[in-house]
Structure 1
Amino acid sequence: MSSDSSPLQSSAVINEAVQTLREGGLVAFPTETVYGLGADASNPEAINKVFTSKGRPSSHPLIVHLAAPDRFDQSEIDWVSVLAPWVRDISEDALKLIHAFWPGPLTLVFKKDKRVLNELTGGQDTVAIRAPAHPVAQELLRKFKGGVVAPSANRFGKVSPTRAADVRHEFEGVLDLMVLDGGDCEVGIESTIIDLSSGDHAVLLRPGAITPSEILAKTGIQVSRPGDHRPSSGDLPRVSGSLKAHYAPTTPLRLYAPGRVLDALSEFPDTKSRVAVVVWDSESSLVLEDHPSIDVEEIIVSSDPSIFASRLYRTLRDLDEQAWDLILFPEPPAGEEWDGVRDRLQRACFGSGPSSISHANS
């Protein structure tokens, strides 16, 4: 497994990564959200390597990552020409969203062009696309001059990586993988996904750092929730991270309601020794004398939603490696700014525990 230990990658290293992609190899690279496991989006064999390496079901679609072209003297980037090989129609709303949020942590779902491989769409007639903002990702994509699929660089259903070391730990000795080190990911959770494939309204398929309120404020576009306009979500496109179990540690993970940590401990009598209890930095220390038989350690986390999101996977990975019997997280507060991490934690809880791999595939 080759990599560069410096977060600032040289042009020579980027060129090597580009050549690896062109030859059908895999390259892990940083985005502002999480590290992605990259492969040439026009190469069926390379795409199959991604599914095989991750243990990801082939019906679970991938997101195509594209570069933002250099502006030169243009007042706006010509995204239409960038998207032309991938999507069938580009609406005015799509262009508003693109100009407001790309490059950035927003994925848009379109009706796909006939040239787009079924291998990357899970057999659907839609394709998900985003332009990552991380400078290493942008340089790699610009030099590659094509689309790159890049699901999170980890085993399917497990905690997403936010550092190059996470990727190396995940695949060490198993996969011949080039890893580009771009430092810690700033956003820390996967992109917001908006469906534009119906043509008449935008639908939120996965919450993330960019919220419907922010979209409305910047573009005037009202983003619906699944079910607002359709009788069921069955006809919505399948997208990454939408399975009930995902982002899961091997250690059992549970959420507790505000002020109910003692109740949460009592609900899990099978946990007899070591429990990691995550608490907000705005709260006082917990009083746990009622459970003298349990070794409890507090882990303080930020009550700022952006900071919490940026450190969520790092915290889950660190705790998962410390051999706790149970991890307790506080339920995130109400509000759109917390929807992304609430979504990730709920799926992580469902999939957590020693049998998490079988949960992820259910």
Structure 2
Amino acid sequence: MSSDKTPLQSSAVINEAVQTLRDGGLVAFPTETVYGLGADAKNAEAIQKIFSAKGRPSNHPLIVHLAAPDKFDRAQIDWLPLLTPWVRDLSDDALKLMNAFWPGPLTLVFKKDKSVLDELTGGQDTVAIRAPAHPVAQELLRKFKGGVVAPSANRFGKVSPTSAADVRNEFEGMLDLMVLDGGDCEVGIESTIIDLSSGDSAILLRPGVITPKEILAKTGITVYQLDEAKDQNLIPVLPRVSGSMRAHYAPTTPLRLYAPGRVLDALSEFPDIKSRVAVAVWDSESSLGEDGHPSVHFEEVEVPSNSTTFASRLYRSLRDLDQQGWDLILFPEPPAGEEWDGVRDRLQRACFGSGPSSSSHASN
């Protein structure tokens, strides 16, 4: 977000939000990834409010958000005291990852401390934690002086919000919901999730903009893909984490991916041929031209061919297209490569969950 366009929330508003959290209420707030629906991580009743507001299954764990301590003149932040109330043990790898990427869009999964509420872990013995980088989130968490659980601020399974207006649209009926406005989210897709709970290995549970390649380059830590971890028996039990449902991030309009040059193949999936189709095309390529189907009205929508920019605009595009009344939305399959894994993951889950009945099959 750029502060010249969006004034940061005033101290008074942040103080009111802190009080709301202390009183067991919900506060929607911006992070660099997406907007979160926040509650006091130590208050079981407040956590239940998140599940009922979102319509989220209660065995689906939440991520605890913590404030990064003020650095002042220290070269390195001391994360240890911040994490000890939440996690059982902190490995050297965990500290390396925090020092390299926190605050930022990286969530780490640990064995939980016994005081951590089952309501937020989905009954598991692991807890997911991150320190968000957005200045509004930082100020809120610093003043709150505690952990805030915050899944994305939308109805369960639907497209995540990347602006305060998205949150308000999503929860129109909830008049008492406080929404902190911090402009548009820069990253645009949820954080990368790495499991450290098995003790020995770092395992990728959800891809995001921070890739295993970047982690290896900055920390020397090898992050295993899920399939590798399973093949090598590196994980006795795989923790359930946010965003791991097969149907998720889904628009109400049917969404499909098409392979390069295969728009018509994607259409043939719909024999009752759809009459109004929005086709996303790479900004680096010339338009589709009329490779046409006489009964279809195409409209082309350019999408960025840079993976970071694509991620930052993905949910915005899906939300806007969903509201425009198309019969079908087609997106190009993202290219191969780790930097595209995060958006590929979101698009595949969005396709699976999309369509008018999407709420009924948000299953694993």
Same-fold call, TM cutoff 0.5: yes
- Give the aligned partner of residue 251 of structure 2: 249
**Would you say how many aligned residue pairs link Structure 1 and Structure 2?**
358
2 CA distance for matches of 1:253 and 1:159?
12
CA contact (8 A) 1:195 1:202 kept: yes
Q: Which amino acid aligns with 1:72?
A: F
- Give the aligned partner of residue 109 of structure 2: 109
CA contact (8 A) 1:64 1:147 kept: yes
CA offsets per residue over residues 125-144 of structure 1, 9 Å max, x none? 00000000000000000000
2 CA distance for matches of 1:73 and 1:256?
51
The 1:7/1:244 distance shift into structure 2, 3 A limit, reads farther
CA contact (8 A) 1:271 1:326 kept: no
The 1:305/1:166 distance shift into structure 2, 3 A limit, reads same
Alignment map for 1:303-342 (pairs within 5 Å) = 303-342=305-344
- Give the aligned partner of residue 216 of structure 1: 216
2 CA distance for matches of 1:214 and 1:354?
38
* SS of match in other structure, 1:204: strand
CA contact (8 A) 2:280 2:332 kept: yes
Structure 1 residue 266: Cα displacement: 2.6
Q: Which amino acid aligns with 1:283?
A: E
CA offsets per residue over residues 208-230 of structure 1, 9 Å max, x none? 00000000000000000113233
CA contact (8 A) 2:216 2:222 kept: yes
1 CA distance for matches of 2:229 and 2:346?
25
1 CA distance for matches of 2:227 and 2:162?
32
Q: Which amino acid aligns with 1:207?
A: P
CA contact (8 A) 2:38 2:150 kept: yes
1 CA distance for matches of 2:229 and 2:6?
48
Structure 1 residue 270: Cα displacement: 2.0
Structure 1 residue 74: Cα displacement: 2.1
CA offsets per residue over residues 168-192 of structure 1, 9 Å max, x none? 0000123520000000000000000
- Give the aligned partner of residue 14 of structure 1: 14
Q: Which amino acid aligns with 1:110?
A: F
2 CA distance for matches of 1:289 and 1:108?
46
User: Does 1:258 find its partner at 2:260?
Assistant: yes
Structure 2 unmatched ranges of 5 or more: none
CA contact (8 A) 2:88 2:112 kept: yes
* SS of match in other structure, 1:235: coil
CA RMSD after TM alignment:
1.4
2 CA distance for matches of 1:162 and 1:227?
31
- The answer to which of 221-230 and 297-306 deviates more is 221-230
Q: TM-score, normalised by structure 2?
A: 0.96
* SS of match in other structure, 2:344: helix
2 CA distance for matches of 1:85 and 1:191?
22
The 1:117/1:87 distance shift into structure 2, 3 A limit, reads same
2 CA distance for matches of 1:137 and 1:238?
25
CA contact (8 A) 2:203 2:229 kept: no
- Give the aligned partner of residue 174 of structure 2: 174
- Give the aligned partner of residue 190 of structure 1: 190
- Of the three residues 343, 346, 362, the one matched with 1:344 is 346
Q: Which amino acid aligns with 2:307?
A: P
Q: Which amino acid aligns with 2:28?
A: A
- Give the aligned partner of residue 165 of structure 2: 165
CA contact (8 A) 2:198 2:236 kept: no
CA contact (8 A) 1:57 1:361 kept: no
CA contact (8 A) 1:36 1:153 kept: yes
The runs of 4+ residues in structure 1 deviating greater than 6 Å are none
The 1:234/1:170 distance shift into structure 2, 3 A limit, reads farther
2 CA distance for matches of 1:237 and 1:272?
40
Q: Which amino acid aligns with 1:308?
A: F
Structure 1 residue 359: Cα displacement: 1.5
Q: Which amino acid aligns with 1:115?
A: S
1 CA distance for matches of 2:41 and 2:57?
17
1 CA distance for matches of 2:105 and 2:292?
44
Structure 1 residue 118: Cα displacement: 0.3
Q: Which amino acid aligns with 1:332?
A: P
2 CA distance for matches of 1:290 and 1:180?
46
Alignment map for 1:126-137 (pairs within 5 Å) = 126-137=126-137
Structure 1 unmatched ranges of 5 or more: none
2 CA distance for matches of 1:270 and 1:18?
52
CA contact (8 A) 2:53 2:155 kept: yes
User: Does 1:285 find its partner at 2:287?
Assistant: yes
* SS of match in other structure, 1:229: helix
* SS of match in other structure, 1:168: helix
1 CA distance for matches of 2:299 and 2:229?
46
Q: Which amino acid aligns with 1:261?
A: V
User: What percentage of aligned pairs have identical amino acids?
Assistant: 81
Structure 1 residue 263: Cα displacement: 2.0
* SS of match in other structure, 2:336: coil
CA offsets per residue over residues 66-112 of structure 1, 9 Å max, x none? 00011223221110000010000000000000000000000000000
